[in-house]
Structure 1
Amino acid sequence: MSAHLTTVAGVAVDTRHFIGGERVASAETFTDLSPIDGNTLAEVSRGTAAEAAAAVAAAKAAFPGWAATPRAERARILRGIADGVDKRVEELAAVETADNGALLRSHRRGVMPRVAHNFRFFADRLVGLDHGDFTTRGHTNHVSWDPAGPCVLITPWNAPLMLATWKVAPALAAGNTVVLKPAEWSPLTASLLADIATGAGLPAGVLNVVQGHGSEIGEALTSHPDVRRISFTGSVPTARRIAASAAANLTPLSLELGGKSPLLVFADADLDLAVDLAVEQYDNAGQVCLAATRILVEASVAEEFTRRLGEKAAGLEQGDPRHETTDIGPNIHPRQLERIDGFVRRALAAGARAVVGGHRGEGQYYAPTLLTDVAQDSEIVQEEVFGPVLTLQTFTDEDEAVRLANDTRFGLAATVATGDAERAARVAARLVAGTVWVNCFFVRDLRAPFGGSRHSGVGREGGTWSFDFYCDVKNTVTAPKGFEDHG
């Protein structure tokens, strides 16, 4: 086997970059560890400014041809990529579980099928993309979506392939070329995506994958004058650096950032449903940007709710994510585990009480944790932990519930549990959030806009909003007369 191939869960993965349709190695590598057991999965090519420049150059060279490719042909290739994902669901699921520690059953049943759906959805959306002409004083207005150019897409480690393809699929559908930079803690399925795309007939240079540390390759990508769009999912501090880097070229940005989302539980809610919604927030070991980590409960039912939630959280099975019965797997990296533990230790020292959890497990596992007796202005309430840690506070009326819910710098999502439809509508209208779920959680439709308010992001993607971002939207106005003068 080549020195640049690693075998993960029986699947061969190329650890080199993919630039201009070819595999390219770097002089140095970085070590990719499995969060399951801490063992080394691969030594991965560590990109620098040189690889960034080469990838952008390849994307620029491939852009005219791909942009000129008819919509139907672009859609056909995207559907071919979806077919390729479907054929490799088991392999992709196994590699991603080894790489980021999320549940294998979730990858098999939900995440990887969603990856394929991302490509099919935007292929279909592309073919049907049409504003409809309209007239102004007899003049015809025609709206079109012109491909923008090379796009840099920087993706996180918590749902590597799904979140990468959430960006890659619309960018390619729009007629753009792509440089994808996956997170260094979970880079392997991005490499497999490059293989699948090539097998589906995507031309060389249309999709490029470069790996490495953001501090070494990221700025070279985001500051490049030939880049026409940048989409990033990750932390607020990194987004600030990206925005500053892109500012010199006025490169448009789409930023999906952190969250500190609330779950509002009113006394008239179905408490069984509300408890189930709260337990869902431990999904993926709490490493979900949308997670409602701040539980706000009406005081009259708080004691009963807290008891039920504590019991259910304590019953979650934590362990190897490859086992069918596991509910919570490991956290991604020793550095992230230390960060989570630091938040909890400081909260406990400040007077918080752990109803359940509040401590590390073996290896890279952190016990599902529920903290009460927390102040609204405390760090644990205001800052994103990104681990299996929930806080619980009480409120006495609707106004206080909304005030507490909105009292952070974030605004990504919110969840409301209530048996009153009118209250649901009132509260949802007052919440600062890009998405509000009522008596449900994590119901996502690609036709809907997605993004955050305040420090949770800039812009919206999904449906036509994705094409609005990844394209230069043009309006052509044509007079009713004049053509006959020229034959």
Structure 2
Amino acid sequence: MKALVEGVEVDVRHWIDGKRVGSATTFSSISPIDEQKIADIAAGGESEIDQAVTAAQAAFQSWKKTSPAERAAYLHKIADIVEARVEALAVVETRDNGSLLRSHRRGVMPRVAMNFRFFADWLTQLDHPDFDVRGHRNHISYDPSGVAGIITPWNAPLMLGTWRIAPALAAGCTVVYKPPEWAPLTASLLADITAEAGLPAGVFNVVQGMGREAGAALSRHPKVRRLSFTGSVPTARTIAAAAAPNLVPLSFELGGKSPFIVFADCDFDLAVNTAIGQYDNAGQVCLAGTRILVEESIRDKFQEAFIAKAKNIRQGDPRDEASDIGPQISRAHFERVSGFVDRAKGAGMKPLIGGGPNEDLGGLYFRPTLFADPTPGSEILRDEVFGPVLCLQSFKDEAQAIAMANDTEYGLAAVVMTGDPARAERVTGAVNAGLVWNNCFFVRDLRQAFGGNGKSGIGREGGTWSFDFYCDVKNSVYAPHGWSQVGGKV
């Protein structure tokens, strides 16, 4: 019933209604570090999802009546325990998804605790001032919507999961969480943490399994009142179709093909170093600026400096502090990334660096790759690869840079590197993206609205936007004291 992962015991069963629940079938969790099996995980489906949703619906009746202060106290307790277990969470997730251990220790797992603390505090401050309409007082309130189904990806499973779980719980919803099948283990550890924090049974549930089984069952369940999903466009379409008969509000974050725009007046070294950062997490970052657009006058200089820097990237075992990037998540994903690159090469495009597996490491390690001037309209330029593959193009002027940046069906993020504040404002306003960084990258705050345009998603989360999603926002109108609803004296 438990697996020992890097010295940490992890229960491989589901967490439903405050109890561990097994399944008749299992699936294997394979480490991308060496493609060795870590554990056999209980595989849930229609039955387990129904048990979890039923438990969550029953728990909702009391959880929604729990005061904001009490809900916040639970979330702070969860954060306390996460902080005490950062090392255990970090080593398990690194083994499970292949991301850098140093990043998990220093940033990702502390952010998990921060997710709970932030939304706990935001809940207690959540307020909309009353306003007057012809002498009638209008009051805005946030009513918990019910059971929230949350499905998140494998590239930062616990952090991205809790970014949705924390506001849902804070809002007074109960949760059924379907973690990614390629990296499910820290979700089980989170279930243990919520139990230790005293969260009532049924308020938080975890059902592991395949997307086509557990995910599909959760998406179409009639008692689910909110669905939050992070992942691919095809899967989002499937979820939306399954949820449509129940008219369930959706929040989708679906990745991107973001532009990284470099003007000649930029801080050159900053631009090069920030561009190199787009290889972070072996390219498995939805926000990465994978289309590097450089002004013609500095194109050659930028390309030369970028290649020199990229050759110093240290690829290796993510548990090694010296490693800068690790492997792709799975054999299937590795082959997907390889397929993009091989097809581009087959069409005559030559990578300036990389272009294939890291022969020194073998396994799932793919070399950081850069294509220069890919064929316009080619898939390597238009589709999300989600691997360490970047494309470099040049532009003549600001207008062309904006046109090239917007030549995509996605609209998640963008990076603008310029020394001209007025240009930064103009380009930011013109680029189609939910988030634009100027002379920086990955500066994030939970107060920010986060989400994408076009194929990059539906809706926004963060700060009050999260409560707008997980709650039914109610407006109550009160006639003046002593007056009837139609304005006449009683």
* TM-score scaled by length of structure 1: 0.98
Of residues 207, 210, 213, the one that matches 1:213 is 210
Q: Give the corresponding residue for 1:458.
A: 458
TM-fit CA distance, 1:356: 0.9
Aligned residue for 1:141, secondary structure, equals: strand
RMSD: 1.2
User: Could you say which residue in structure 1 is the equivalent of 2:236?
Assistant: 239
Partner of 1:248: helix, strand, or coil? helix
Counterpart of 1:422 in structure 2 is: 422
Superposition deviation, residue 298 in structure 1: 0.5
Letter of the 1:63 counterpart: F
Distance, in Å, in 2 between the alignment partners of 1:482 and 1:95 is 63
Equivalent-residue separation in structure 1 for 2:272 and 2:247 (angstroms): 46
In the aligned structure 2, how far is the partner of 1:95 from the partner of 1:199?
19
* Match of residue 363 from structure 1: 363
| Partner residue in 2 for 1:388 | 388
Deviations 1:160-197 (A, max 9, x none): 00000000000000000000000100000000000001
Unaligned runs of 5+ in 1: none
- Report the 3-state secondary structure (helix = DSSP H, G, I; strand = E; otherwise coil) of the residue aligned with 2:176: strand
Aligned counterparts of 2:119 and 2:56: Cα–Cα separation in 1: 20
Runs of 4 or more consecutive aligned structure 1 residues displaced over 4 Å after TM superposition: 483-487
Match of 1:73 among 58, 62, 70: 70
CA distance in 1, matches of 2:280, 2:157: 15
Relative to the length of structure 2, the TM-score reads: 0.98
CA distance in 2, matches of 1:333, 1:386: 12
Distance 2:26 2:143 in 1: 38
Which residue identity is paired with 1:426? Answer: R
Displacement of 1:473 in angstroms is: 0.2
Instruction: Kindly tell me the number of residue pairs found equivalent between the two proteins.
Output: 484
- Rounded Cα–Cα distance in structure 1 between residues aligned with 2:310 and 2:81: 38
Match for residue 84 of structure 2?
87
- Tell me, in whole angstroms, the C-alpha distance in 2 between the residues paired with 1:249 and 1:173: 24
- Aligned partners of 1:18 and 1:486: how far apart in 2? 57
Letter paired with 2:170: A
Tell me the SS of whatever aligns to 1:170.
helix
Question: Which of 203, 206, 214 is matched with 2:200 structurally?
Answer: 203
Q: Deviations over 1:94-121 (max 9, x none)?
A: 0000000000000000000000000000
- What is the match of residue 42 of structure 1? 39
**1: CA distance between counterparts of 2:489 and 2:116?**
44
Aligned mates of 2:381, 2:390 — CA distance in 1: 9
Map 1:367-382; keep pairs closer than 5 Å: 367-382=367-382
8 Å Cα contact 1:36-1:101 kept in structure 2: yes
The residue aligned with 1:62 is 59
1:7-406 matched pairs, under 5 angstroms? 7-361=4-358, 362-406=362-406
Q: Deviations over 1:223-258 (max 9, x none)?
A: 111100000000000000000000001000000002
CA distance in 2, matches of 1:459, 1:376: 30
Amino acid at match of 1:113: P
- The structural deviation recorded for 1:220 is 1.2
What is the CA distance between 1:219 and its match in structure 2? 1.7
Q: CA deviation at 1:350?
A: 1.5
- The 2-side partners of 1:214 and 1:323 are apart by 32
Quote the Cα distance in structure 1 between the aligned partners of 2:309 and 2:62. Answer: 55
Please give the alpha-carbon distance, in whole angstroms, between the structure 2 residues aligned to 1:350 and 1:343. Answer: 11
The residue type paired with residue 208 of structure 1 is: N
Shift of 1:459: 0.1
Is the contact made by 1:351 and 1:373 (CA closer than 8 Å) also made in structure 2?
no
Does structure 2 retain, via aligned residues, the 8 Å contact 1:296–1:394? Answer: yes
